[in-house]
A and B are shown apart, each in its own frame.
Chain A
Amino acid sequence: MSTKPFRPDVDAPEYKGKYVPYDIIKEGTIAIIVVGLLVVLLATLFGSPDERAITVKAWSNADPIDFATTALGELNGSTVTAKYGAPYNTAAPGQNLGPLRLAQFAGVTIPVNTVRDFVINPLSSLPYDKPLSAALTEWKSASASQQKSWVSNYTAGASKMTWSNGQINVPATNAGPVPELINKLTSMARSGALDQALVTGGGFYTTNYTKPLLFVADGTYLANLAQKQHLLGSQWGMMNETGSYPGQAWLWLYTFWYQVPPFNSSSNADVQVSALMGLLSILLLLLPFIPGLRSIPRKVKVYRLIWREHYSA
């Protein structure tokens, strides 16, 4: 027989008291009926949100300049995706947790080349068009430094970009085929063809929307809509839902850390918050084994309320 001392936060006393009738099946049935009625009531009263997905077509029609600026960003490497790093490309080392660069370590597993995948390949899929075909040939046969020079000359005038008569106009010289590429990509986007070209890059069937989602997220149109719905990260958006519906309220702690120092000004906030939440989850998981923490329930005595009948017997 063990003679170990009784540890009140680890061991439970042996219960020698009375037992009362208990109908577990009846209890379960009642629970399902009550919760079922409540669900039907809430669904009938409030429904559920379903804001339509935006399209590249809708975006480029609503704000052609934002679209064309984003497309230029994909060419000159200034968009979020172009500068991302792993798992999409090697443009940046990515976030670090102390000496650990976890994303970089995991590698580029979902390769995205913004010039090729967002601009050149979609344009190459269009039906024959003489000026476009000439522009693509000029681009493809140019050296990397020549391409870079055209793009930077165009970028220099991009702050004066205008939209008129269905054309993107930028005052730029020595921009080579870039004006034609940006213009045709904008027309392609406004027709809806770019939406298809971005998803069908891999063939007939697809269930993967990585490329169109990255492209759309590089613009400001999606974020502006999200801001109106109070969904930005800085608005605790992770917990929120479109409209006035409750969202993932259980993410409150995860969301909270992004709002406070040092995370709200850290360029490594994502990996830091993830690590912190991982640590806190492990603490919750191992609570029964952590001296001090596991004594809290015994010391705060909320259990006296739960078992008041037992203690008053």
Chain B
Amino acid sequence: MAYFWSLAALIPLNNYGHYIHWGVIDISLANFIVIVLMIIAFIAALFLPFPGRSRRKESR
């Protein structure tokens, strides 16, 4: 119970980070993941079928 109320993070990220070097690019793994997820989210939003498409056609 004490542990529960401590609200401590389950996977704290306080250790020194990992970095990706690529020529002039030097980016932390965390930022890299965030940016890649943004690009994936954008592309997925373009390609994934939006639900309710057929239902909408029937509705009118």
Contact = CB atoms under 8 A, between A and B. Distances in A.
Interface of A: 18-21, 43-49, 51, 228-230, 235-236, 239-247, 249, 252, 259-260, 302, 305-306, 309
A246 B19 CA distance: 12
A243 B11 CA distance: 12
A244 B13 contact: yes
Contacts of B18: 244
Best-buried of A46, A48, A242 by chain B (most CB within 10 Å): A46
Interface residues of B, number: 31
Contacts of A236: 25-27
B28 A20 contact: no
Nearest to B27: A236
Contacts of B51: none
The 9 closest A-B pairs by CB, nearest first: A47-B9, A244-B13, A244-B17, A246-B30, A243-B14, A249-B31, A305-B46, A20-B56, A246-B34
7 contacts: A229-B16, A235-B19, A244-B18, A245-B13, A247-B30, A252-B27, A252-B31
A12 to B, nearest CB: 21
A309 B56 CA distance: 11
Nearest to B60: A18
